[in-house]
């Protein structure tokens, strides 16, 4: 039997960033898809603690880092309409770099952005330089070049601080969150935890001070989600559960119940309950996830949620219920042409059949 839980791994990329006129450094976090990670990891069903055994890579949305450039890009550089002719090459070159990034052509994107960087440096456009560094840092992050990404992100933060952006600004926290994940990947547990805590507590404080805009809430939900995943990896499951639950409530507040993010977070809550042998709570969370997921026909990874529920049913000895859920997972996998889930659902049904034969 298998159990599935998300692993953020390298997948910071499904973040939608729009360039808007916000202060001197004009990008903002516009949307975060909490269920956007491209990797689902198997959990051993008999494990006493959470242990990632191997990765199952699912279909990714095209383009890797999704960066949408709006007309606000001109505002980002502080240009008025009558200034546009003075600096078209820099903006056009950045746009080309962004489009290449969206297509997943990271090497070409990096080359294009270095051309843009030279233009920005020649023009002494420091906001442009900082913005390009941020784009380059995200590309390095996506490619797994974490040392390089770390240096670039730190350069961006230094510039933001130098122009008076406070450490608790959303832009700073967004970068801090990615740095924290880099430290987690590099197994620097102390730095990772300090970073994740800073992000979560800063956003909580901002919210308590009345900053309740959607961007802040989305970033707070993402910070809680990532911190929870870190806590899972260091086997601090009760704390991870609390963070997942807070992220879930924020997700519902922002997006409502019927969305993929809610389904995935309910699956995460069910997963933690399952690993802690609280099977009834696991079934409660997972049946909620399945109930919502059944209303989302385009959810490609829904089969993994069904398999998880079937696995808990089997653990509880509810063989009839497990069989039906595994069959549903099989049909869902066929619908979405998900070979790995199809194989796993078939294996689960074979194990169920074998288990019944043994009991007879």
Q: Is the pLDDT of residue 355 over 90?
A: no
Q: What is the mean pLDDT of residues 111-118?
A: 96
Instruction: Please report, for residues 7, 102, 352, the alpha-carbon distance to residue 313 in angstroms, rounded to integers and kept in the order given.
Output: 24, 41, 11
Question: Pseudo-torsion of CA 116, 122, 126, 130, nearest 10°?
Answer: 30
pLDDT for 353 equals 86
What residues contact 247, with CB distance under 8 A and at least 6 apart? Answer: 34, 221, 222, 224, 225, 228, 265
Q: Is the pLDDT of residue 60 over 80?
A: no
Class of domain 256-360: mainly alpha
Q: What is the mean pLDDT of residues 199-221?
A: 94
pLDDT in tens, 128-149: 899 999 999 999 999 999 999 9
Q: What is the mean pLDDT of residues 222-232?
A: 96
pLDDT in tens, 282-328: 999 999 999 999 999 999 989 999 999 999 999 999 999 999 999 99
As a whole number of angstroms, the distance between CA 239 and CA 336 comes to 34
Q: Which residues pair with 27 in a beta bridge?
A: 19
Q: Is the pLDDT of residue 71 over 60?
A: no
Confirm if 171 and 28 have CB atoms less than 8 A apart. yes
The whole model's pTM is what? Answer: 0.78
With bands split at pLDDT 50, 70 and 90, how would you rate the model's confidence at 69? Answer: very low
- Domain ranges for the chain: 1-165, 167-240, 256-360
What residues contact 23, with CB distance under 8 A and at least 6 apart? Answer: 165
pLDDT in tens, 163-209: 999 999 999 999 999 999 999 999 999 999 999 999 999 999 999 99
Angle between helices 319-335 and 302-315 (to 10 degrees): 170
User: How is residue 118 written in tokens?
Assistant: 């030279």
Radius of gyration of the chain from its Cα atoms, rounded to whole angstroms: 22
């Amino acid at each position: 039997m298998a159990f599935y839980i998300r692993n953020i791994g390298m997948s910071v990329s499904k973040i939608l960033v729009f360039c808007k006129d916000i202060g001197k450094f004009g990008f903002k976090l516009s949307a975060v898809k909490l269920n956007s990670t491209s990797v689902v990891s198997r959990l051993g069903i008999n494990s006493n603690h959470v242990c990632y055994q191997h990765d199952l890579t699912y279909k990714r949305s095209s383009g890797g880092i999704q960066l949408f450039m709006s007309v606000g890009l001109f505002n980002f550089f502080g240009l008025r309409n009558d200034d546009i002719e003075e600096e078209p090459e820099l903006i056009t070159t950045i746009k080309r770099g962004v489009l290449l990034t969206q297509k997943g052509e990271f090497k070409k994107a990096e080359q294009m952005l270095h051309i843009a960087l030279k233009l920005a440096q020649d023009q002494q456009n420091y906001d442009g330089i900082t913005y390009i560094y941020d784009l380059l840092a995200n590309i390095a992050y996506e490619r797994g070049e974490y040392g390089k990404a770390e240096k670039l992100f730190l350069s961006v933060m230094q510039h933001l601080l130098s122009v008076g952006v406070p450490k608790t600004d959303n832009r700073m926290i967004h970068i801090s969150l990615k740095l924290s994940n880099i430290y987690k990947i590099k197994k620097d547990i102390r730095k990772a935890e300090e970073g994740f805590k800073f992000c979560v507590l800063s956003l909580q404080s901002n919210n308590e001070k009345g900053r309740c805009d959607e961007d802040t809430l989305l970033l707070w939900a993402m910070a809680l989600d990532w911190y929870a995943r870190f806590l899972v990896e260091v086997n601090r499951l009760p704390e991870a559960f609390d963070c997942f639950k807070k992220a879930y409530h924020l997700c519902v507040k922002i997006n409502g119940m019927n969305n993929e993010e809610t389904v995935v977070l309910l699956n995460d809550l069910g997963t933690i309950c399952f690993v802690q042998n609280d099977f009834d709570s696991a079934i409660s969370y997972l049946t909620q996830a399945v109930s919502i997921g059944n209303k989302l026909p385009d959810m490609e990874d829904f089969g993994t949620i069904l398999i998880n529920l079937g696995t808990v049913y089997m653990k509880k000895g509810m063989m009839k219920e497990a069989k039906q859920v595994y069959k549903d997972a099989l049909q869902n996998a066929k619908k979405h042409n998900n070979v790995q889930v199809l194989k796993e659902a078939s294996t689960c049904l074979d194990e169920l059949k074998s288990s019944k034969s043994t009991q007879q």
